A and B are shown apart, each in its own frame.
Chain A
């Protein structure tokens, strides 16, 4: 039994242990015990994943199934390959960090026995999905993941009504994705005669079936990944979940959708026609742009982060699509780099999204507020949280030297160095993709400057923000660890990329100068450590000069900020999140459909004197408004019509049964 198999077995045992701890630990210690249990599960999962990524391949854990009449079912297998190992590693680390955070954070329903059991089950499901070696295991683990997350989502349902609606949307969309996956897997299983990935990969499925399966599977995985237009559960569910669960969902669970897409295009149905890649590019680019545009105008911090997840997954899928397209047209160099960029984007997103959601959780814990319009001044009161959130925001905006920077760099290198003269399709797709990627970078910058600046800088806008205090040691530890990972991944792109390149069979990737990333095929390199040293070399004399000058003219404290001389300025007059993105709402008013209302309360008996004014701006999710609500209305209208058939008369019902029987007899007798 080699390391990977031992690791898989250990995960199963640890999951059981975590559940036992959750159920039997005394109430005062439950958070600690269950949290440590789940964290251990995550750590072992990460270790197993890294081992699998580095090429250790085991026989896997198998459970033979003998069902009468179903000979085509292969044994249930758990055997992660390199790609599965990579995603397993991501999930493991995210689960561990979220669990440690949860030790300090979980309170109320999510800290109950059900809550921690569900968390353990959720974590196990997420870790089994990339380890699955056949379709049945995959689907079972998928359902475990979905079930666990649904239970966790319901944690605060008694306290808040939006939680119930969000869970309803989430449950419906998750099961929609499950049905699509079942259909898609059904097609490939029927065509290949077996359920294991190797059996399916070995069969070459002919065209209409392959494309049908591709579309079904991609639709299912896109729903889980939160791509447009099936993303609408994301901005509802992620904000309502408890924060450590949001972090796990956003950083790890949606990656399962990405894993599924990669599984389909790289392993199950490789060598597909070109239009598959175009579908991925179009869906990815649309998600990226729509996601960041919506994120930029949100004032609810967690909703902003949820839409940002849609954007990042969109970028990942775009990178996958571009990689496929380029590989298909013979440009393996650029195509490999694009695939590598997709993986780098995935790991970078997992890292910074965890930090950001946990930071939002810390803010919620300290102030009770999620709305950026009511926060402010938190950097002085919660320095650790602010610093960690700042590092996460830096990475989300793809600025040096963080993991996000490395990932975006790789994607742009692939786009820039692809030879666009090869054919017209690539010549059109590449610059449009580049424009979309550039716009999402720019909007991402705005979004995260807004999230960090409005929430943490300036002065507190409400007493809740003014009374904030720093969070406890376990939460701080999780945040700091996450931030260190974000920066660490950004400083060692070379070894990281070399490890990831094997997962997607990418060549031409090398390490230079111990940590730098070199793309040999293009002769370009990225050495963030060297860039940091250069910046340091520039900063040191600058800071020295500044210090020397400061001794002569030290900073003086004064009583007032400059507010045009008046003393009636208050923190409520600062710009808030809604006003920060107002120019953007104007520029993109076609796609953002903001509705504004101004309510004026006038003084009694003096209609020209205003006592109070309230301005509200709401942006709706256009896709939900134009696609889902009409569809839901259509279904309801159909239901109303169908109700006419159900008028309560027993004679009519007997008539229906009789008619059905007659039809069946006619059908059988033909």
Chain B
């Protein structure tokens, strides 16, 4: 019962903070570039406008065109429910285990890839192909880095890992943890399509990865796609922030605990987003065929992290 309350809090938190996170990231970027930007509320306005617009359907489309955005949104919501964003109290029957969380993430990835192919244009297929190659190459890093930090804890359930890390602050600074967190940051960048892997605001189709898959979608389809992608960023960034700095995450479903969890979660998430946006100002997008080198580098970090787990402990 209380776990259901926690899930609801997670969902509400994720839904509320996501446009704010994107707004903060865009504003930080704008200010560093000398502009004013659209304001923190602009993403919210954008999404509401998109949801009110009509989607278009070209001849020969299948239901994938209308189903994929909703599925992406659903997978992102389930991801937010399972990841310890605010509290480490997990649902007893769906505890947010490593592979379950990664699979839910991959469901969203696949929905998007199929949407890209469904559009029937060369750009859609191109975006889909690049997106899947990046997803395939980032898999080993995801599993290995979470495996590394799950070793000392003895469990692969994300909530248990975060709870154990907050109970043992010394474990946050050892090499296993630091290497794994760095590898996870690269994972988040790759999975959510941020610089230097992908430029979310590019207009050049040949440089697109994520954008190319959604070129054919408009109106409320696009609204769900945008919001779903932003939610993925919230969930993953929130996870990494809570793994890196687990203080403040509520261990139970008490009112005070949840309030503290929401407040600290929001602060950590917005700070992480602002940091990410600030770093992006200094980065250019990597050529597609350099991205595997980046991902291989993150894999090496994750592998080193796992090796450090035996040497150090």
Contact = CB atoms under 8 A, between A and B. Distances in A.
Contacts of B62: 379-380, 457
A457 B118 contact: yes
A547 B277 CA distance: 35
B156 interface: yes
B113 interface: yes
Given A400-B104, A524-B97, A438 B56 contact: no
Contact of B117 (A523, A553, A575): A575
A5 interface: no
Contact of A524 (B109, B156, B220): B156
B124 interface: yes
Contact of A435 (B129, B132, B292, B299): B299
B10 to A, nearest CB: 11
Interface stretch (B238-246, B250-258, B268-276, B303-311): B303-311
A516 B135 contact: no
A606 interface: no
Given A535-B74, A555-B56, A562-B216, A574 B136 contact: no
B130 A459 contact: no
A597 interface: no
A46 B93 CA distance: 32
Interface of B: 7, 11, 51-60, 62, 64, 66, 70, 73-74, 77-78, 81, 91, 93-95, 97-100, 103-104, 106-107, 109-110, 113-114, 117-122, 124-126, 128-130, 132-133, 135-140, 142-144, 147, 150-151, 154-157, 215-216, 219-220, 224, 288-289, 292, 299, 303, 306-307, 309-310, 313
Given A441-B139, A562-B215, A546 B310 contact: no
Most chain A CB neighbours (cut-off 10 Å) among B11, B121, B126, B150: B121
A535 B144 contact: no
Contacts of A553: 52-55, 219-220
Most chain B CB neighbours (cut-off 10 Å) among A400, A413, A558: A400
Contacts of A561: 58, 119-121, 216
Contacts, number: 236
A125 to B, nearest CB: 37
Contact of B135 (A409, A446, A453): A446
B129 A552 contact: no
Interface stretch (A92-100, A224-232, A235-243, A582-590): A582-590
A137 B259 CA distance: 70
B133 A583 contact: yes
Nearest to B53: A553
B206 to A, nearest CB: 12
**Size bracket of the A interface:** 35 or more
Given A397-B110, A409-B100, A543-B70, A438 B132 contact: no
A549 B51 contact: yes
A527 interface: yes
A530 interface: yes
Nearest to B289: A586
Nearest to A586: B289
A525 B95 contact: yes
A480 B176 CA distance: 48
A513 B91 CA distance: 13
A534 B58 CA distance: 33
Given A416-B147, A417-B156, A554 B56 contact: no
A458 interface: yes
A435 B78 CA distance: 26
Contacts of A266: none
A573 interface: yes
A7 to B, nearest CB: 37
Contact of A453 (B122, B128, B136, B299): B128
19 contacts: A377-B60, A438-B140, A442-B138, A445-B132, A446-B136, A512-B93, A524-B155, A524-B157, A530-B93, A534-B7, A550-B220, A556-B57, A557-B57, A559-B58, A561-B121, A563-B121, A569-B121, A580-B128, A583-B130
